[in-house]
A and B are shown apart, each in its own frame.
Chain A
């Protein structure tokens, strides 16, 4: 009988897949300044650049809490005019929770991923809607994202709930080779091994065993794990009561469910060793013999993601990136219960990566008081460049809000971290308006090379000799659990 009811529910959901008419957004105030300088243009270009624009506050779009027919509470962000809907479903558990069942969360993630493929009925149903789904297994999250045309929002939501059901024993057996293959692919890719090596250096080595080390699953661990044990783990991982659900796009909250006062909440608290020993500076090369491309990561630990100082630390790293104008990008990672990782990354050819590491090991400091524009490499940055970098650090987050997918990502991360939506704009305000002294202090604290760990994943024969000029280098092998291959001494009197 209950199955008949369930089928009836499916029918209702499918028939109700059209969404209610969208409210028209009220036009906002003008966002463009009129040109202040007289525009005396010529074929040679403008006579003078316009002044720097202001950087107004821009809060996240408002959300509504909705109790879905499944009983879950979702944060719904209505974006009138968007033809897409993005569903961000997060189980607040990941490799940090695997314990002795190393690789279990990746394995479960592989099961969900197989369900999205064309050979699976759920994959076929998603394709019929024009929906795309992907699954990511991370340190403290198992994440499912579904993007679909907004008119199919309800059907896509129903399919998402089915995708996130705990796998059967048969599915786990079938997914084991797939998980092994995926793990092998991770260990072949410099961008993944660089990240794993950085987390290992920052978290695991100082404490002997730390959940945030995010040890990549290896074939031996996946072979040794018992399927019934992993199934129990999967049931805990995928408990729908603990899932965090965010829905953004051209939908109305009313069309999805009943209004609710509650917000999606994370239950439980992970135990993280604290305080962590401070990381000593070191340079590690993850060896990928013959690799044509290298990934370099420079990172250190920063305050916890919910700590008010967290935003200032991230802003400091972003500002320095903007002032220096190098081809690096900020790739920090915030954790709910542990310290965040502040990091820059660059992926390029081996030559570029080594040149980059060479330059960054002797960094310059921005000087907000410099009056003159000094443009030659290695000199202090100008006041204009400093201000521009502050503006960019403040505004970078805005670019995430252009699409339904970006809004769902931003909201989902805030809910995962236990932060309020207001903290989104608060972080931007800090980068824009914080007193110079506060930013200077953050720069001094979080940009000191003495606390950095430099990881370069690529061909060690080509990379290590360059890095040896600055510091002793440790070469590790990713496929042997990052065991040390060799230690190379510093070849120059200067450096770390």
Chain B
């Protein structure tokens, strides 16, 4: 009697099964972005405007090869007034992302024309540090791109944007920003990154799902907390561990081998988690703005992240297994935690 299977003990498993069925049954709740408009400008770049009704704040995200002139005090004051800002330097230029109250959009657009990261600003970012390791070299020439996302008067913003012109970029040799490679993760955190194709492609979708599963299996089998994340040109893992890099490397190799044949139930969970992470990114104005610029950078299509969402949800186990090869450790860039020996390792071979 004591060994009899009690039906209520099966409830969590039954619930999990129902949830999987539910996720298959339910239509994907993908955003559609009906309020998207794109302006072409004389500098060859794109300005993307997306109106999202009801958003109390705006995000303005701009990317350029070299972001304008240095140390303009008036611009710096305006930017501070505009709201929260994040500036980072990646392997192919600068990105400035502002989050601001809606009424400060005019200020922000004016400020962006003259603003630039000052020496010491930017670069303190895990994505840009890994990107610089994976694709070192001078920035490629590119026209500036800008996205505005939130609840705003699109016509008024378009009028301002047409009138704004960006100064000629500073030659790469004169850039004075910080070296992204100097950034190190905080104690107890190690970062492993891989160069990846653009979002909106099936191989990239498979890499993201495989990285999600890899992070989950590290937590499950090795007691390390890990999260998968991605940037315009890379996917990466943020791993919380006290291990040495060598011990972590062994664990990663073991889990990569397991990933070659991923069971269907685990694949479904990895797909659901990856899709959910994308939706969460698109729940935030700044995340949407960055995704729009990623789409332009990759394929000239700001909506390509939406296609990416559907690609993720349709992935097969075979596609994910084949993506595991792209996550080989010899193709990775590795940033060990601050204070650990050998500050930066770079095992990257350029694909």
| Nearest B residue (CB) for A50 | B106
Contact between A49 and B54, CB atoms less than 8 A apart: no
Known: A10-B14, A39-B160, A124-B269. A399 touches B8 (CB 8 A): no
Task: Say yes or no: is A417 at the interface (Cβ < 8 Å to chain B).
Answer: no
Contact between A125 and B167, CB atoms less than 8 A apart: no
Contact between B19 and A152, CB atoms less than 8 A apart: yes
Task: Say yes or no: is A162 at the interface (Cβ < 8 Å to chain B).
Answer: yes
Known: A127-B272, A149-B275. A291 touches B57 (CB 8 A): no
Contact between B106 and A32, CB atoms less than 8 A apart: yes
A405 surroundings in chain B (CB, below 8 A)? 280, 283
Complexed CA–CA distance, A158 and B276 (Å) = 18
Known: A30-B153, A46-B110, A49-B74. A402 touches B18 (CB 8 A): no
Task: Say yes or no: is B308 at the interface (Cβ < 8 Å to chain A).
Answer: no
Task: Say yes or no: is A435 at the interface (Cβ < 8 Å to chain B).
Answer: no
Task: Say yes or no: is B2 at the interface (Cβ < 8 Å to chain A).
Answer: no
Contact between A290 and B269, CB atoms less than 8 A apart: no
| Nearest A residue (CB) for B26 | A151
Contact between A395 and B83, CB atoms less than 8 A apart: yes
Task: Say yes or no: is B187 at the interface (Cβ < 8 Å to chain A).
Answer: yes
Docked complex: B1-43 residues within 8 A CB-CB of A: 7-8, 11-16, 18-23, 25-27, 29-31
A121 surroundings in chain B (CB, below 8 A)? 12-13, 15-16
Contact code string B45-83 (vs A, CB < 8 Å = 1, else 0): 000000011111111000000000000111101101101
B159 surroundings in chain A (CB, below 8 A)? 34-35
Contact between A189 and B13, CB atoms less than 8 A apart: no
Contact between A148 and B7, CB atoms less than 8 A apart: no
Task: Say yes or no: is A147 at the interface (Cβ < 8 Å to chain B).
Answer: yes
Task: Say yes or no: is A130 at the interface (Cβ < 8 Å to chain B).
Answer: yes
Docked complex: B190-242 residues within 8 A CB-CB of A: 216-217, 219-220
Docked complex: A73-115 residues within 8 A CB-CB of B: 79-84
Task: Say yes or no: is A14 at the interface (Cβ < 8 Å to chain B).
Answer: yes
Contact between A10 and B105, CB atoms less than 8 A apart: no
Task: Say yes or no: is B350 at the interface (Cβ < 8 Å to chain A).
Answer: no
Q: Find A34's partner among B156, B187, B188 (CB 8 Å cutoff).
A: B156
Q: Find A403's partner among B14, B100, B167, B283 (CB 8 Å cutoff).
A: B283
B59 surroundings in chain A (CB, below 8 A)? 402
Point out which of A42, A118, A131, A388 has the most chain B C-beta atoms below 10 A from its C-beta.
A118
Contact between A402 and B276, CB atoms less than 8 A apart: no
B58 surroundings in chain A (CB, below 8 A)? 31
Contact between B114 and A46, CB atoms less than 8 A apart: yes
Q: Find B54's partner among A14, A25, A147 (CB 8 Å cutoff).
A: A25
Q: Find A31's partner among B8, B25, B153 (CB 8 Å cutoff).
A: B153
Docked complex: A132-185 residues within 8 A CB-CB of B: 132, 147-152, 155, 158-159, 162, 185
Task: Say yes or no: is B244 at the interface (Cβ < 8 Å to chain A).
Answer: no
Known: A124-B16, A399-B83. A43 touches B167 (CB 8 A): yes
Docked complex: B88-105 residues within 8 A CB-CB of A: 99-105
Contact between A292 and B73, CB atoms less than 8 A apart: no
A70 surroundings in chain B (CB, below 8 A)? none
Complexed CA–CA distance, A117 and B159 (Å) = 51
A399 surroundings in chain B (CB, below 8 A)? 57, 83-84, 99
Task: Say yes or no: is A269 at the interface (Cβ < 8 Å to chain B).
Answer: no
Docked complex: A262-316 residues within 8 A CB-CB of B: 290-293
Stretch of A53-61, A253-261, A441-449, A471-479 with 4 or more beta carbons under 8 angstroms from chain B:
A53-61
Complexed CA–CA distance, A231 and B265 (Å) = 34
A188 surroundings in chain B (CB, below 8 A)? 187-188
Contact between A402 and B55, CB atoms less than 8 A apart: yes
Task: Say yes or no: is A129 at the interface (Cβ < 8 Å to chain B).
Answer: yes
Complexed CA–CA distance, A117 and B223 (Å) = 10
Complexed CA–CA distance, A83 and B81 (Å) = 31
A385 surroundings in chain B (CB, below 8 A)? 77
Known: A32-B152, A49-B107, A395-B101. A125 touches B8 (CB 8 A): no
Contact between A31 and B103, CB atoms less than 8 A apart: yes
Contact between B8 and A3, CB atoms less than 8 A apart: yes
Q: Find B23's partner among A15, A30, A129, A132 (CB 8 Å cutoff).
A: A129
Contact between A132 and B22, CB atoms less than 8 A apart: no
Contact between A147 and B7, CB atoms less than 8 A apart: no
Complexed CA–CA distance, A271 and B150 (Å) = 45
Contact code string A20-35 (vs B, CB < 8 Å = 1, else 0): 0000011110111111
Complexed CA–CA distance, A117 and B225 (Å) = 10
Task: Say yes or no: is A401 at the interface (Cβ < 8 Å to chain B).
Answer: yes
A56 surroundings in chain B (CB, below 8 A)? 103
Task: Say yes or no: is B348 at the interface (Cβ < 8 Å to chain A).
Answer: no
Contact between A118 and B219, CB atoms less than 8 A apart: yes
Q: Tell me the minimal C-beta distance from A16 to chain B in angstroms.
A: 9
Known: A7-B14, A17-B22. A127 touches B113 (CB 8 A): no
Complexed CA–CA distance, A188 and B241 (Å) = 12
Q: Which 9 pairs from chain A and chain B are nearest by CB?
A: A130-B276, A31-B102, A130-B272, A121-B12, A53-B103, A14-B18, A127-B269, A292-B339, A45-B114
Of the A-B pairs whose beta carbons lie under 8 Å apart in the complex, a sample of 9, sorted by A's number, is: A32-B106, A46-B164, A81-B31, A128-B265, A130-B274, A159-B15, A403-B284, A405-B280, A405-B283
Q: A46-B164, A130-B273 are in contact. List 13 more A-B contacts (CB 8 A).
A: A30-B152, A31-B151, A34-B106, A35-B160, A45-B75, A45-B167, A53-B106, A80-B54, A118-B216, A132-B276, A151-B29, A292-B339, A392-B80
Residues of A within 8 A of B (CB): 3, 6-7, 10-11, 14-15, 17-18, 25-28, 30-35, 39, 41-46, 49-50, 52-56, 58, 61, 79-84, 117-119, 121-122, 124-125, 127-132, 147-152, 155, 158-159, 162, 185, 188-189, 250, 290-293, 322, 325, 347, 375, 384-385, 388, 391-392, 395-396, 398-399, 401-405
